[in-house]
Every structure is written in C-alpha cells, then in structure tokens.
C-alpha cells in the first residue's frame, strides 16, 4: 500500500525492535476488575451567556492567529513554559484513560543536530523519490523542502510518541485508540503553544520514526507521531498568505 499511498507512514511497521523477543515475552494484562474507581461530583465552570459568547469569540481570535511557522528564533524559552504546555497536552482524553503518550523534549544542541541529520536524509529521499511529482508540486507554493534549519535553531524539539501498548508490572496493557488519543493531545499542545505566544510547525517526518526512536532511546512500543520545533518566531519569519474556509463551508447543522 505504501506504493499507492505514500503518505501512509511505513513507520507503522517499525521492525527495528532491538529486543526481538519483545512481542512474545509479555502477557497481556487486564486493567483490573480488582481496582475500583470512586466517582466524585464534577466541578466545572458555568458562565453567563454573554460571557460564553465573549470567551468563545476571544478563543477563536487567538487560535485563528496560529500559523505553521518554519522560521524560529534561537532565543531561549523558559523550561517552565514548555512543561506547562506539555502538562496541558497531557489533559487530553484517551481510550480507557490509558494516557498513551510520551513527549520527548530535546534541547541539547548535539541531539537536535542528530535529529536534523536523520530527518533531512529521509526527507530528501521523500521529496526525490517517495512522494512523487504530484505531491511535491502540490507543496511547491508552501516553499517547504527537506532542508530544515529549524531543527538546529529552535530552542526545543518536541517529539510526540504514541505508546501502541503499555508496559506494566504483569506484562502489556492495551492502549485503546492510542493514535486518536495522542492526536487529540497534539491539538491541545498546539493550542497551548499558541496561548503562550510560541510557534511551531506540525511535522510528521515520513519514515524517520524508527531512527529517531532509537536515537532518543525510546522503547519499541512507542511510535513517533509528530515532531514539533518550538520557540519564538524569528523576527523576519514569513508565512504563506493563506485564508481559511468560512464557517458555512465547514459546518452542517441538522
């Protein structure tokens, strides 16, 4: 299928497991009829209607300013801010509350450079061979390429891994809906970055997952879902002059 649908990432068949016995050495464990969860009153905020309208409009205005920015300033960003943002991403809902995500934050310049070498080598092959002429020409107007300076320059690289299963004392734990769960957490991460005045570009480096997983010493149950360079925008950053679909083109009320 990777021939006809090159955007389907071959990493989903990650065979670089350094522990080849991994798949048969652990029994699947049940999350437990043994442990009970008590249910407590829900404490939420309810706002007056005018406040709701104002808040929803303000949040739209904030999020509508989000852009994929490929020119990131080397200026340092407080680690506390990054931690708060990842804490926010970790509030995402997940299948059976399994929280199947790992956020690897890379700030070490040497490791960032290693990430860049891996990504640029694979992306050059993607652009030259794997993506095909139509895909490459569809992207031309965005001026993307396999050269990704931001991987050296951004103060942080956040690599989001989905845990395809959990590893617990007795064996393996099923992570239901792990891909959509981690994808939702990525959406929250993007919103939290925007809220803090930071920028990123969502990159899903095709076929880099196994190498980056090994570089970052992550276990075999983790697959790379997204790579986000994070920082302040460069003072001379540019973005393509895009518009978004109007509301009436994206909503259907029944």
- Output the smallest distance, CB 113 to ligand IYR, in A: 18
190 vs 220 by CB, closer to ligand IYR: 190
9 DSSP β-pair partners: none
**For the chain, percent helix, then strand, then coil, each to nearest 5?**
40, 15, 45
For ligand IYR, give the closer residue by CB, 125 or 215.
125
Min dist CB 245 to ligand IYR, Å, is 16
- Check residue 221 for interaction with ligand IYR (CB under 6 A): no
User: Which of 52, 53, 139, 168 contacts ligand IYR by CB under 6 A?
Assistant: 139
Position closest to ligand IYR via CB? 144
Residue from the set 102, 178, 203, 221 that interacts with ligand IYR by CB under 6 A: 203
Which of 212, 222, 220 is closest to 106 using CA atoms?
Answer: 212
The CA distances from residue 86 to 162, 189, 190, 210, in Å, are: 14, 6, 10, 23
Q: Which of 107, 144, 174, 195 binds ligand IYR (CB under 6 A)?
A: 144
Which of 46/134 has CB closer to ligand IYR?
Answer: 134
Q: How far is the CB of 201 from ligand IYR (least distance, A)?
A: 8
Residue 104 vs 151, nearer CB to ligand IYR: 151
Among 9, 120, 123, 222, binds ligand IYR (CB under 6 A): 123
Local structure of 87: helix, strand or coil: helix
Hey, CA dihedral for 251, 60, 81, 204, is it positive or negative?
positive
Buried-state track 157-188, b at ≥16 Cβ within 10 A, e below 16: bbbbbbbbbbeeeeebbbbeebeebbbbbbeb
Task: List contacts with ligand IYR (CB under 6 A).
Answer: 123, 139, 144, 203, 206
């Amino acid at each position: 299928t990777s021939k006809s649908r090159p955007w389907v990432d071959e990493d989903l068949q990650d065979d670089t497991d350094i522990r080849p016995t991994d798949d048969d050495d652990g029994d699947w464990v049940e999350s437990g009829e043994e442990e009970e969860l008590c249910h407590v009153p829900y404490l939420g905020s309810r706002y007056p209607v005018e406040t709701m309208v104002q808040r929803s409009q303000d949040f739209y205005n904030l999020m509508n300013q989000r852009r994929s920015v490929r020119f990131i300033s080397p200026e340092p960003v407080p680690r506390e801010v990054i931690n708060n943002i990842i804490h926010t991403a970790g509030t995402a809902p997940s299948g059976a509350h399994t929280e199947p995500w790992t956020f690897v934050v890379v700030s070490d310049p040497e490791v960032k450079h290693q990430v860049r070498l891996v990504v640029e080598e694979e992306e050059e092959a993607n652009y030259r061979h794997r993506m095909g002429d139509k895909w490459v020409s569809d992207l031309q107007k965005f001026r993307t390429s396999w050269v990704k300076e931001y991987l050296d320059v951004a103060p942080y690289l956040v690599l989001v891994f989905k845990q395809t299963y959990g590893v617990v004392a007795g064996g393996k734990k099923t992570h239901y809906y792990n891909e959509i769960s981690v994808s939702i957490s990525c959406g929250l991460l993007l919103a939290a970055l925007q809220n803090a005045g930071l920028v990123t570009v969502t990159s899903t480096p095709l076929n880099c997952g196994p190498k980056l997983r090994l570089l970052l010493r992550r276990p075999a149950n983790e697959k790379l879902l997204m790579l986000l360079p994070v920082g302040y925008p460069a003072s001379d950053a540019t973005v393509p002059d895009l518009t978004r679909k109007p509301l009436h083109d994206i909503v259907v009320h029944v």
